[in-house]
Structure 1
Amino acid sequence: MEREIVPVELAVGRAIAHDLTLIDPESGFKGAKFRRGHTIRPEDVPVLKRMGKSNISFLRMAPGEVHEDDAALRIGRRVTGDGVALRGPEEGKCSLVAERDGLLVYHDEDIDFVNDDPDWLFTTLPNKVRVGRGKTVAAFRIGPLMVREEQVARVEGIGHISVLPWRRLKTALVTTGRELYEGSVKDAFQPKLLKKLAEYGGEFLGGRIVPDDRSAIEGAISGWLDEGAELVLCTGGMSVDADDMTPSAIRVVCDSVLFRRTPVIPGANLMLASKGGAFVLGVPASAVFIERTSLDMLLDRLFAGVPPDGEEVRGWGKGGLCAHCDSCGYPRCAFAAR
């Protein structure tokens, strides 16, 4: 690449080689004031000087070089998956924006692979967190104005970044506890569950309350599965007390247990099992009175159709301690980034 530096007054009539950025602290604006290819006019000179541009660089690309805009576009077209849209380039940067509500998914190692080249700058929201429509989920660019063709070709083999849509799972609730069964205590979890299901568009089939009896719990779970439930949540009886029968009932009914506990607080006593294509979930007691727990992470994964296995869950301990912020920002926090 050859660079020619010309005083701004002598640059009139020439086309700029890259976006020129305006930063206005008073209005808070930062963006491209003049775009690549713009031909400088006499009336642009005072504006450019106010932007701090006393000189303008004009570039001549050598064979085998790729302009910053073209490099960003090429990797952008490669990584754009389902549920996201490519935006840009602007100021040499492209971004991906969610086109729907759902779960952001990508391969962590792909981002590391791109950033192994110090000329590339690739950043994302945390993997496997819920995002809303219109949210920017990734942004990328090169640092210099030009890179070599082989630097771009190297990263064109990485995978897609996608936003998986929420599935409308048919969901049922089994609530365990003699005090609830006899009516001396009101079930506090069902209203919370209905609120959470509304976030995914899930269908609630109903709830059943049973005493601390393993056969009764087994029967309630099996009954919901027979009625077409794709997800059964079981609350109560998930601890290690003598009356806590829910984990053993789930084991009897289900084909396999994916995990029994998770290194996340609140919500360590979380259990996930499967029966055919359906899932049965043992809900930790903390989910009844704490707004966000490990339950929310797991529901995100199940409603997106990417359930975690036991090995993955054992890695949730890093960042798995909720900070209990004064103003909860979930899922825009480290706790949600599993």
Structure 2
Amino acid sequence: MKLIRTEDAVGQVLCHDITQIIKGEKKGPVFKKGHIIQEEDIPVLLSVGKDNIYIWEKEEGILHENEAAEILCKMCISDHMTRSGVSEGKIEIRADCDGLLKINRAALKVVNGFGQMMIATVHGDFPVQKGDKLAGTRIIPLVIEEEKMRQVEKLIGEKPILQLKPFPGKKAGVVTTGNEVFYGRIEDTFTPVIEEKLKEYGGEVCAHDVLNDDHTKITESILKMIDDGADMVLCTGGMSVDPDDKTPLAIKNTGARIVSYGAPVLPGAMFLLAYYEKDGRKVPIMGLPGCVMYSKRTIFDLILPRAMADDEVTADELASLGEGGLCLSCMVCTFPNCGFGKGV
């Protein structure tokens, strides 16, 4: 790479894209890398503020921004993703199907802390749709030492930074609890909400029991649904500390491993998450507080997509939801394109 006066650059080869910005009209390359500069190009280059310009002179061990962007892209991309071509040293990665985006945050931080290179992503552990933009990569200077790129490759290893886990279409058993519903005192308005949320990720209700506040019956119902092939069991109601609320006890009595009873999320503090493990299966069991029925977005919206993608949630991850765990109940809901659940 060599710096020369633009007016002396006729016949030389551009070593980077030249961007033109016209407010309200366009932003993009007016000349692309590799373009051989012509006499008539000089006024255009001067009009975009290029009194001096870099021309390409290949040096051993030095990578152009486009070559480096390819290396960064390779560090990120994995199955179920597509990539753009390289433009102005940048490559974009998009989802090739609906799914849950997972990010190796430690590796991403290594790259972005290494200097002279960057990868920007959308937030991990959230659902994305086919065609959604996931990440963009580029180096900061026009050229970079090849050895530096190889060093960061070695540090992060062979596992891609991004992973997209498709939604295979899960079947959920629903156990509706509460004397008020069982005896017909009120209508069950909870189950229709769950059905709609499952549909967002290609899921469906495969079994539904309505039971009174008898923890023994609730336990038996959960276990039968699992034995009959339910991929998860969702228990509605009975999650508070009232004496008639027996759902947490019923879930515990299944022998499931309780991850957490309670979460630092509003709405959804009385949420319970457990995993029932048997014969190689790991079935999520959730106790859903009443807010899931009447609030637009709750803790359930943060955990359900992960369950639908077979992505296990840990107690530490639940604890980390406190920062960003307050839904602001906006007049117009834009979730997941908002800060809810995005503390890390």
TM-score under structure 1 length normalisation: 0.94
SS in 1 for 2:241: coil
* Alignment partners' CA distance in 1, 2:60 and 2:205: 62
String of CA shifts for 1:143-167, please: whole Å, max 9, x gaps.
1111112210122132311211012
* Alignment partners' CA distance in 2, 1:36 and 1:120: 19
SS in 2 for 1:209: strand
Whether 1:143 aligns to 2:144 is no
Whether 1:171 aligns to 2:167 is no
Correspondence for 1:7: 6
Assess if the C-alpha contact under 8 Å between 1:97 and 1:137 holds in 2: yes
Assess if the C-alpha contact under 8 Å between 2:169 and 2:201 holds in 1: yes
Correspondence for 1:263: 264
* Alignment partners' CA distance in 2, 1:75 and 1:107: 14
Assess if the C-alpha contact under 8 Å between 2:3 and 2:52 holds in 1: no
Assess if the C-alpha contact under 8 Å between 2:119 and 2:136 holds in 1: yes
Correspondence for 1:224: 225
* Alignment partners' CA distance in 2, 1:222 and 1:58: 70
State the identity %: 36
Correspondence for 1:316: 321
Find 1:124's aligned residue among 96, 121, 140: 121
Assess if the C-alpha contact under 8 Å between 2:6 and 2:46 holds in 1: no
String of CA shifts for 1:267-303, please: whole Å, max 9, x gaps.
1111112223222110121111001111111101111
Alpha-carbon shift at residue 61 of structure 1 (Å): 4.2
Correspondence for 2:94: 97
* Alignment partners' CA distance in 1, 2:153 and 2:83: 15
* Alignment partners' CA distance in 2, 1:53 and 1:34: 12
Find 1:109's aligned residue among 106, 130, 141: 106
Find 2:57's aligned residue among 35, 57, 60: 60
Correspondence for 1:282: 287
The residue identity in structure 1 corresponding to 2:132 is: K
Assess if the C-alpha contact under 8 Å between 1:298 and 1:307 holds in 2: no
* Alignment partners' CA distance in 2, 1:295 and 1:63: 54
* Alignment partners' CA distance in 2, 1:104 and 1:110: 15
String of CA shifts for 1:301-332, please: whole Å, max 9, x gaps.
11111111212212221211112222211111
Alpha-carbon shift at residue 220 of structure 1 (Å): 2.0
Assess if the C-alpha contact under 8 Å between 1:267 and 1:287 holds in 2: yes
Alpha-carbon shift at residue 172 of structure 1 (Å): 1.5
For residues 171-190 of structure 1, the aligned pairs below 5 Å read: 171-190=172-191
Correspondence for 1:17: 15
Assess if the C-alpha contact under 8 Å between 1:21 and 1:30 holds in 2: yes
The residue identity in structure 2 corresponding to 1:123 is: A
Assess if the C-alpha contact under 8 Å between 2:98 and 2:129 holds in 1: yes
Assess if the C-alpha contact under 8 Å between 1:129 and 1:336 holds in 2: no
Correspondence for 1:299: 304
For residues 14-93 of structure 1, the aligned pairs below 5 Å read: 14-27=12-25, 29-93=26-90
Assess if the C-alpha contact under 8 Å between 1:238 and 1:269 holds in 2: yes
Alpha-carbon shift at residue 4 of structure 1 (Å): 2.6
Assess if the C-alpha contact under 8 Å between 2:13 and 2:56 holds in 1: no
Correspondence for 1:202: 203
SS in 1 for 2:200: helix
* Alignment partners' CA distance in 1, 2:106 and 2:314: 19
* Alignment partners' CA distance in 1, 2:20 and 2:3: 22
* Alignment partners' CA distance in 1, 2:131 and 2:39: 39
CA RMSD of aligned residues (A): 1.7
Give structure 1 stretches of 5+ with no counterpart: none
* Alignment partners' CA distance in 1, 2:48 and 2:331: 41
Whether 1:253 aligns to 2:254 is yes
* Alignment partners' CA distance in 2, 1:327 and 1:155: 42
Whether 1:331 aligns to 2:336 is yes
Equivalent pairs counted in the alignment come to 335
* Alignment partners' CA distance in 2, 1:199 and 1:225: 22
Assess if the C-alpha contact under 8 Å between 1:178 and 1:211 holds in 2: yes
* Alignment partners' CA distance in 2, 1:142 and 1:223: 55
